[in-house]
Amino acid sequence: MIEELSNHLPILLIVSGLIGAFLTPLIGLIRRELCSFWASFITLIQFSISIFLFYQAVQVGRISYWLGGWEPPWGIEYAIDILNGFVLVVVSTICLSVAIYGRKSLLKEVPGKEIQLYTLYILLCTGMLGIIITGDVFNLYVFLEISSLAAYALVAVGDRNSLVASFNYMIMGTVSACFILLGIGYLYLMTGTLNMADLSRLLPPLYDRPAILIGLALLIVGLSIKTALFPLHTWLPDAYTHSPSAISALLSGTFTKVGIYVLMRFIFSIFGLEYFLRNTDIFTFLGWVASAGIIFGAIMAIAQDDFKRMLAYSSISQIGYIALGISLANNFALAGSLLHIFGHSLMKTGLFMVAGAVIYSKGIKRVSQLEGMGNVMPFTMGAFLIGALSMIGIPPTIGFVSKYLILLGAVENGEWVFAAVILFSSLLTAAYFWRVFEKVYFGENKKEEKAGKEAPLSMLLPTIILAILSLVGGFLAPMFIRVFELWIGGVILGGV
């Protein structure tokens, strides 16, 4: 029975979330407060399944699950390899952490809407996991729309400016979705298949067709919007700033990373690295765009006084690091990009959790109001310190290792300008975080509040755990890199 159940874990990952979202309103009718516990339970199930699937992918290789027993490419396939198994673990970890954190945070910021919030929350998490696990490009689009619609609605329930932020997000997201759907349509028109593995087999003889190039361009632009890659990032600062703190934490740690994963899947698994190196200059273009985004995001972060807005612009900068690693396309850089997906999810989710904890406990939203918070909220600000140091890239944090690997990738390719961008942006990152350090640890608390006025334990504990993981992750990086090399060597270099 257990063995039979384990064979169906790929579909149970999604079905558990869909059933969980369907049952949330019924549970809310019994008692509203149960919705948060229910969301935590569902995300715990999904986290456990993700861990098991990733372990299986590392041990035995690619896992293929046929929905309804229909053999691909005729039926929809769920496929798990090292790349998406790793991203499943990252996303499900953040979903579980934020579900626990959000119980108190959402109750205070958005009271009386637990049923709607947690129904959408579970749908958003399930949609993202569906995007990651599916091996069918149209099924990917369906899950993308499920998660996007849930995200728009969750952003809209924030502060008084959240409706405008959500509307702008929806407009950009709709444009993105149209581009992605049209791109998928072009690929289907030329190949007659929607299965990713089948596409990778049928595309090489068609590489010189204009329709393939148009489809690829539409996909890259559409995914760049979802990823908030500069200069298509315009929806992100307002969405992260004005949404509830728990939703900001979730989106910053997951949604853009899912977009990056899909971009990597199309580039390396469906089209293949050789196609891009021989037929396009997309990597060169992506490298310069990513570098511009790294600098732009850091400079804009320095200019912000709103705590969450500063972190939002910081995300634009950090997304640029991941894209830069992809553009360099060598062993060091790709390992660094994958590690930065994990590291940035931990760091930025934890930092947004800190911002939410300060809002919850003190009602403070601005950096200039954080004087003396290091004494008032020592554990919360300790978590902020670790996360910020990791963002800057101070050893031995995970942020240092991921940036160092991308830097080595730039040096290996002889891209000295990109290497300089990485080093200079780290100084800019230190500059905007130093502003916070100065207020928190060297500012005078004018209200003379007593120490130990922390946020509730359900908010504090996930924040501290993510901070610890950001620190410990640097020591565990060699283990992750060895796992990444299995995918980089097998799929990228070996052409599997």
Q: What span, in angstroms and rounded, lies between the C-alpha atoms of 172 and 63?
A: 34
Q: What span, in angstroms and rounded, lies between the C-alpha atoms of 196 and 76?
A: 10
Q: Which residue has the tokens 């990373």?
A: 257
Contacts of 55 (CB under 8 A, 6+ apart): none
CB neighbours of residue 351 within 10 Å: 33
DSSP code string of 145-180: HHHHHHHHHHHHTSSTTHHHHHHHHHHHHHHHHHHH
In the prediction, which pLDDT does 129 show?
A: 93
CB neighbours of residue 333 within 10 Å: 27
How remote is the C-alpha of 395 from its chain's centroid?
A: 23
Q: What span, in angstroms and rounded, lies between the C-alpha atoms of 125 and 147?
A: 7
Q: What span, in angstroms and rounded, lies between the C-alpha atoms of 284 and 282?
A: 5
Locate 354 and state its tokens: 């800190």
Q: What sections of 157-244 are H helices per DSSP?
A: 162-191, 196-202, 210-227, 236-242
What b/e string do you get for 438-452 counting C-beta neighbours within 10 Å, with b at 16 or more? ebbeebeeeeeeeee
Domain parsing of the chain, residue ranges: 281-496
For the chain, how long is the longest CA-to-CA vector? Answer: 72
Q: What span, in angstroms and rounded, lies between the C-alpha atoms of 71 and 273?
A: 27
Q: What span, in angstroms and rounded, lies between the C-alpha atoms of 8 and 82?
A: 18
Q: What residue type is 164 in one-letter code?
A: V
Q: What span, in angstroms and rounded, lies between the C-alpha atoms of 205 and 335?
A: 30
pTM of the predicted structure, to 2 decimals: 0.90
DSSP code string of 26-72: HHHHH-TTHHHHHHHHHHHHHHHHHHHHHHHHHHH--EEEEGGGPPT
Locate 203 and state its tokens: 């595309």
**Using only C-alpha atoms, what is the Rg of the chain?**
22
Locate 220 and state its tokens: 């890259």
Asked if 32 and 113 touch (Cβ cutoff 8 Å), the reply is: no
Q: Sign (positive/negative) of CA torsion 145, 149, 152, 155?
A: negative
One digit per residue, the tens of pLDDT, for the chain of length 496 reads 555 566 778 888 899 999 998 999 998 888 888 888 999 999 999 999 999 999 888 888 788 888 777 777 777 888 888 888 889 999 999 999 999 998 888 888 888 788 888 999 999 999 999 999 988 889 899 999 999 999 999 998 877 888 888 899 899 989 999 999 999 999 988 888 888 888 888 888 888 888 888 988 899 899 999 888 888 888 888 888 888 888 999 998 888 889 899 988 888 888 877 777 776 678 888 889 999 999 999 899 898 888 889 999 998 998 989 999 888 888 888 888 888 998 889 999 999 999 888 888 888 888 888 887 878 888 888 889 999 998 888 888 888 998 999 999 888 888 889 899 989 988 998 888 888 888 888 766 666 555 557 788 888 899 999 999 988 888 888 888 888 887 777 655 544 3
In the prediction, which pLDDT does 448 show?
A: 54
In the prediction, which pLDDT does 494 show?
A: 46
DSSP code string of 97-108: HHHHHHHHHHHH
Contacts of 480 (CB under 8 A, 6+ apart): 338, 339, 342, 473
In the prediction, which pLDDT does 495 show?
A: 44
In the prediction, which pLDDT does 368 show?
A: 82
Q: Which helix (H) or strand (E) holds 465?
A: helix 457-487
